[in-house]
């Protein structure tokens, strides 16, 4: 039970890196000696010292003979920073308790082996499930050539995301919308389609009260024919960086204009359509580890049909529209209920009268 208590604290510390460590994982570390915490640390930002290093600095010489709790296996290689496993050995710690093995192929057990070879006792798997959920984005990103993709939508009780004339402001309440902004802050990028840009002219930025936003997510616009108006909010690069995803069918002069305004342009091979699979692979190459889809029914359906969506976040507001309002998904759909896309690991949250259903799409 003592291990779980201190690991819980390490997980709490790790969450303090929410939104600032991408594409690195969130990691927390706690150093314990004589039953009390003598050092704490978490990974604050990619390129800065890791959690173990920050905790060792706080513990100082007291770290010798201590037990270290860390949410992720200490690294054993030189990346942006020196190996943490070496630092723990040098500090003379007695025991290291680890929540989960690092899925990064460059580490994957090597840090644990280095500690054991130095005579340090290592215990693994303490609160592993919680640690894996915390770093679900990192796990997908580091073990594949794709970012972690979340589809978010807001609908009424009768499954509509907008009225027949396209009005959608606002389906959900302020608390629900604020939660979405927290997730924008968490991810590396927000993706929407040209339909949403033309209808709403969104900014797609993080706007949270009383929070100093150090970074904005990259805005990605799926615009196969380069129809985005040049005065759109998403082409105001001073607000946030923008990637225009288009196809070879787009007007070359319009593409050059996007570039002149400071946007990054990815031209995919799809004819009259953005190839979403190719786009995701290109985003991975740019170290974009996570994408929040906030588009309309066509983009959402395409992403789900291509098997790109890992997690769904569906907000349901206690409102009814009726008539011919827009539904959350279009596309080809499914012919048999037995073939419906199924969510697993479902959880439910409430934001006053709104309900959020979260779950993972089964492969």
Number of domains in the chain: 2
Q: Is residue 148 located within the same domain as residue 249?
A: yes
Q: Is residue 131 located within the same domain as residue 61?
A: yes
Assess contact for 128 and 99: CB atoms under 8 A. yes
Q: Is residue 182 located within the same domain as residue 102?
A: no
Digit-by-digit pLDDT tens for the chain (363 residues) are 689 999 999 999 999 998 889 999 999 999 999 999 999 999 998 888 899 999 999 999 999 999 999 999 998 765 556 688 889 999 999 999 999 999 988 777 888 999 999 999 999 999 999 999 999 999 999 999 999 999 999 999 988 888 777 777 788 999 999 999 999 999 999 999 998 898 889 999 998 877 777 789 999 999 999 999 999 999 998 889 999 999 999 999 999 999 999 999 999 997 788 999 999 999 999 999 999 999 888 999 999 999 999 999 999 999 998 888 778 888 788 888 888 889 999 999 999 999 999 999 975
Shortest CA distance to 328 belongs to which of 343, 315, 347? 315
Collapse the DSSP code of 59 into the 3-class scheme (helix H, G, I; strand E, B; otherwise coil) and give the result: helix
Please, what is the end-to-end C-alpha distance for the chain in angstroms? 35
In the numeric block, the tokens 């011919």 are attached to 324
Question: What is the DSSP annotation of 214-260?
Answer: ---PEEEEE-TT----TTSGGG-TTTS-EEEEEETTS-HHHHHHHHH
CA 109/CA 259 separation, integer angstroms: 44
Q: What is the mean pLDDT of the chain?
A: 91
Q: Is residue 153 located within the same domain as residue 231?
A: yes
Q: Is residue 180 located within the same domain as residue 262?
A: yes
Predicted local distance difference test score (pLDDT) of residue 78: 55
Provide the angle, in degrees to the nearest 10, between the axes of the packed helices 84-91 and 51-59. Answer: 20
Q: Is residue 75 located within the same domain as residue 52?
A: yes
Predicted local distance difference test score (pLDDT) of residue 168: 74
The runs of H, that is alpha helices, within 30-109 are 51-59, 84-91
Phi, psi of 196 (to 5 degrees): -65, -40
Among the candidates 114, 138, 162, a domain finishes at 138
Q: Is residue 270 located within the same domain as residue 293?
A: yes
CATH number of the domain at 5, please: 3.40.140.10
Q: Is residue 195 located within the same domain as residue 294?
A: yes
Q: What are the tokens at 203?
A: 């900014």
This prediction has a pTM of: 0.90
Phi, psi of 81 (to 5 degrees): -135, 160
Structural domain that includes position 116: 1-138
Predicted local distance difference test score (pLDDT) of residue 133: 95
Collapse the DSSP code of 192 into the 3-class scheme (helix H, G, I; strand E, B; otherwise coil) and give the result: strand
Predicted local distance difference test score (pLDDT) of residue 331: 78
Predicted local distance difference test score (pLDDT) of residue 80: 59
Shortest CA distance to 66 belongs to which of 89, 83, 44? 89
Sign for the pseudo-dihedral over CA of 227, 231, 236, 239: negative
CA 345/CA 245 separation, integer angstroms: 32
Report, as residue numbers or ranges, the catalytic residues.
Answer: 52
Phi, psi of 239 (to 5 degrees): -75, -45
Residues 6+ apart with CB under 8 A from 143: 103, 105
Predicted local distance difference test score (pLDDT) of residue 163: 79
Residues 6+ apart with CB under 8 A from 361: 304, 309, 310, 311, 312, 341, 342, 343, 344
Collapse the DSSP code of 16 into the 3-class scheme (helix H, G, I; strand E, B; otherwise coil) and give the result: helix
Angstrom CA distances, 84 to 33, 52, 104, 109, 110, stand at 19, 6, 15, 13, 11
Q: Is residue 119 located within the same domain as residue 180?
A: no
Annotated binding site for NADP(+): 154, 170, 196, 200, 224, 296-302
Predicted local distance difference test score (pLDDT) of residue 228: 93
Q: Is residue 80 located within the same domain as residue 28?
A: yes
Among the candidates 138, 159, 191, a domain finishes at 138
CATH number of the domain at 166, please: 3.40.430.10
Q: Is residue 167 located within the same domain as residue 304?
A: yes
Give the alpha-carbon dihedral of 125, 150, 363, 26, to 10 degrees.
-20
Q: Is residue 134 located within the same domain as residue 152?
A: no
Predicted local distance difference test score (pLDDT) of residue 338: 85
Collapse the DSSP code of 190 into the 3-class scheme (helix H, G, I; strand E, B; otherwise coil) and give the result: strand
Task: Identify any residues that bridge with 98 across adjacent strands, giving them in sequence order.
Answer: 70, 124
Predicted local distance difference test score (pLDDT) of residue 305: 92
In the numeric block, the tokens 């048999």 are attached to 336
Among the candidates 108, 138, 168, a domain finishes at 138
CA 224/CA 210 separation, integer angstroms: 38
């Amino acid at each position: 039970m003592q291990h779980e208590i201190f690991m819980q604290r390490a997980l709490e510390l790790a969450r303090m890196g929410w939104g600032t460590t991408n594409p690195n994982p969130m990691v927390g570390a706690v150093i314990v000696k004589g039953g009390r915490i003598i050092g704490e640390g978490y990974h604050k930002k990619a390129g800065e010292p890791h959690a173990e290093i920050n905790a060792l600095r706080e513990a100082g010489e007291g770290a010798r003979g201590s037990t270290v709790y860390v949410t992720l296996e200490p690294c054993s290689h030189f990346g942006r920073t020196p190996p943490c496993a070496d630092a723990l050995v040098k500090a003379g710690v007695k025991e290291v308790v680890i929540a989960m093995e690092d899925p990064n192929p460059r580490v994957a057990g090597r840090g644990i082996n280095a500690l054991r070879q130095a005579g340090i006792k290592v215990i693994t798997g303490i609160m592993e499930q919680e640690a894996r959920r915390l770093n679900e984005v990192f796990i997908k990103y580091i073990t594949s050539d794709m970012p972690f993709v979340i589809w978010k939508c807001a609908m009424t009780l009768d499954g509509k995301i907008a009225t027949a004339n396209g009005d959608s402001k606002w389906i959900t309440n302020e608390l629900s919308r604020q939660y979405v902004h927290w997730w924008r802050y968490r991810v590396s990028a927000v993706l929407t389609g040209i339909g949403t840009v033309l209808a709403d002219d969104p900014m797609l930025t993080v706007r949270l009260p009383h929070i100093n936003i150090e970074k904005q997510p990259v805005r990605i616009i799926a615009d196969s024919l380069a129809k985005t108006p040049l005065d759109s909010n998403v082409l105001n690069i001073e607000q946030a960086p923008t990637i225009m995803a288009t196809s070879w069918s787009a007007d070359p002069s319009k593409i050059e204009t996007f570039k002149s305004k400071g946007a990054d342009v990815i031209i995919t091979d799809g004819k009259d359509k953005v190839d979403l699979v190719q786009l995701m692979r290109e985003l991975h190459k740019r170290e974009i580890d996570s994408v929040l889809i906030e588009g309309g029914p066509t983009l959402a359906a395409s992403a789900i049909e291509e098997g790109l969506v890992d997690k769904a976040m569906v907000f349901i507001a206690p409102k009814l529209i009726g008539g011919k309002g827009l539904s959350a998904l279009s596309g080809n759909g499914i012919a048999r209920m037995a073939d419906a896309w199924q969510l697993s690991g479902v959880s439910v949250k409430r934001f006053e009268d709104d309900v959020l259903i979260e779950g993972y799409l089964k492969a």
